Amino acid sequence: MKKKLSFSFLRTHRKLLAGAACLLAGAILFFSLDGPAAVQAAAAERKLPIYCVQRDNKCVSLTFDAAWGNEDTQMLIDILGKYNVKATFFVVGNWVDRYPESVKALSDAGHEVMNHSDDHAHFSKLSDEEIVRNVNACCDKIEAVTGVRPTLFRCPYGEYDDHVIEAINGMDIRTIQWDVDSLDWKDYDAQTIFSRVKDKVQPGSIVLFHNAALHTPEALPQIIEYLLAEGYTIVPVSELLLDGNYTIDHTGRQCPA
């Protein structure tokens, strides 16, 4: 009986030792080969644009991307002017080439005219040098019309990766995303656009519209009236952003350091 117990115990013990040895070998292999890379990847901080801003007061920014059409730009200027609201327009350099009079009209009305690339390229596919060249080309065009050089940039298609953000930051330009997407480019009706903004907006939000979307001019007055009635102050993005030292959390929210 004792021999049977000893043999059973030895066999079990041997299996445990074998299992432990496998785990140890795996751990050694991980840390010698994949371990440092895995740890470094986990510890690396992803580079993010600014999606929204931590604000104690009810402040919000309305932004419009202009890349193709120009049917409604003047109408948007008139609507914003009626409520004495200043917005930020992110324009593509090719759009500036086609519609310099609209770029000037936006600037003359007190709106920010900022950079949305020179040709709406996929920036994650560009080298750092190509990114800098592309952004500077658009900045040059905007500055030639408005007299003001852009300090903000929005990635075409909202696409970015670490090297895109680092390249833009290296130009002393801040990259701006959004946390409220009206999805007006899908040609939703005005009520749907209004409801999307109403349901998602919060203090520090950056709202995305487009200058040539079908129902944006119809939805915009209702959105502005709602925000004002709720006690929001509507400001251009440069006035929404925090100055001095700040951090950007994992959601893209700009926070005081």
Active site residues: 65, 210
CA–CA distances in Å: residue 78 to residues 81, 86, 88, 106: 5, 11, 15, 10
Is the dihedral angle over the CA atoms 182, 188, 190, 196 positive or is it negative? negative
The secondary element (H helix, E strand) that includes residue 5 is helix 2-29
State whether residue 175 is helix, strand or coil. strand
For 42, left (φ over 0), alpha (ψ -120 to 50), or beta? alpha
The secondary element (H helix, E strand) that includes residue 48 is none
Residue 206, CA atoms < 13 Å, CB-side half-sphere? 27
